Chain A
Amino acid sequence: MISYAECSARERLALLLDPVSFHEWLPPGERVMSPHLAQLGVPSAFDDGVAVGRAMLGGRSVFVAAQEGAFMGGGVGEVHGAKLVGLLQRALRDRPAAVLLLAESGGVRLHEANAGLIAVSEVMRALLDVRAAGIPVLVLIGGANGCFGGMGIVARCADYIVMSDVGRLAMSGPEVIEASHGVDEFDSRDRALVWRTTGGKHRWLIGDCDALVEDDVAAFRAAAVAAIGQSRPLTLAALEEEHALLTARLHALPASDAGTAGQDEAALLWSALGIADAQQVPELSVEAVRALRTI
């Protein structure tokens, strides 16, 4: 068993895809790098923190991108985002069996400000174009930096999300919530709280991801192979179904804090969704949690 969380982006590509099948576009030797970071005295990376290319997965042709969480927290800069957009647009032309995003990102790279914000919005548009063309986009989340900010939104735009229990997925990250709403609202140093509210088990139980796996490269590979055919048509009916699910989830919690003050809100939500012994969820194995989902 090899920890997916501890691998670099390039190690994940080497281990997850069919052996030596990855062909990289704009490899490090091309030096397509950030035009912004050097001006700020920050070192750039030769690949701007993301490797993109084509590969085989279980004998099927796929396009794949892997974000490097150790470089600027996987932040999406101008070039990084353009590489993702280019990959998705090329998928429209070449029609691979699926596009895989090995996401690990804190969201927009703030050093690049508007260029990064625009890049993320372009990634979303390109991703939805690929989905509309009937090519499934699969997102794998299991890196130590999680998948936050704009990349969290990108992930939820995709057809299918695979997460490990150590993976995290959300919009605003813990420090951001604490900074804007105070430590009483959210204590970002409470790691158990962070995982109860953003971690893979929580996302699985409330229906925000489609597969929950162990922190194991082989498990991610198996889940990705199984998901290649899982295209979800982008239709009005599908959107309305999603909205109904979200509305039901929102109303599952009591409207006021009366009677529940001081209780853990994640566990309250799990209980409200009909999960027995919700307090025990953080202690349970991935396999046990997989069996609990009610949505």
Chain B
Amino acid sequence: MSDVPAGLETLDFSFSGGKPAGAFVPVLVGVVGSGNLEVLLEPAGGNDCAVRVETSARGFGPIWQAVMNDFHARHPLAGVRVSINDMGATPAVVSLRLDQAVAEITGGRP
């Protein structure tokens, strides 16, 4: 038996020092399917980028931290709430979905 208890794991991350995203219509990309995830981006008050992950794959907090650090380095956003429902997506898939979501709110502009 693994030491990791069954059930979902919730992870929270927050990043500051980003560029305000301004107003935008919330976007949803991806689907909660095996090896996949959905990413919801919404405008939020404040100057942070807050990330909440609900995942069925427990025990991968440090990897999520690294993936989100990379995301913040690529897209330093502020005033954005990122919500993720994950069903065991790999780090590469997570990064692609995050980039896809940002592309939707910026209309493809980097």
Contact = CB atoms under 8 A, between A and B. Distances in A.
B56 A46 contact: no
Nearest to A33: B85
Given A29-B42, A45-B85, A46-B83, A68 B31 contact: yes
Contacts of A28: 26, 28, 38, 40
Given A68-B31, A71-B33, A46 B38 contact: yes
A115 interface: no
B87 interface: yes
Nearest to A40: B7
A203 B87 CA distance: 34
Contacts of B55: 43
Interface residues of B, number: 19
Chain A interface mostly: loop
13 contacts: A10-B28, A28-B28, A29-B26, A38-B7, A41-B8, A42-B8, A42-B56, A43-B56, A45-B32, A45-B38, A46-B40, A68-B31, A71-B32
Given A28-B26, A70-B31, A44 B36 contact: no
Interface string A22-48: 000001110000000010011111110
Interface residues on A, range: 10 to 19
B85 A46 contact: yes
Given A29-B42, A41-B6, 14 more contacts: A8-B31, A27-B26, A29-B26, A29-B40, A41-B7, A42-B8, A43-B55, A43-B86, A44-B54, A44-B85, A46-B85, A68-B31, A70-B31, A71-B33
A41 B56 contact: yes
Interface of A: 8, 10, 27-29, 38, 41-47, 68, 70-71
Interface in B1-49: 6-8, 26, 28, 31-33, 36, 38, 40, 42
Given A28-B26, A29-B26, A44 B6 contact: no
Contacts of A27: 26, 28
Contact of A43 (B6, B40, B87): B87
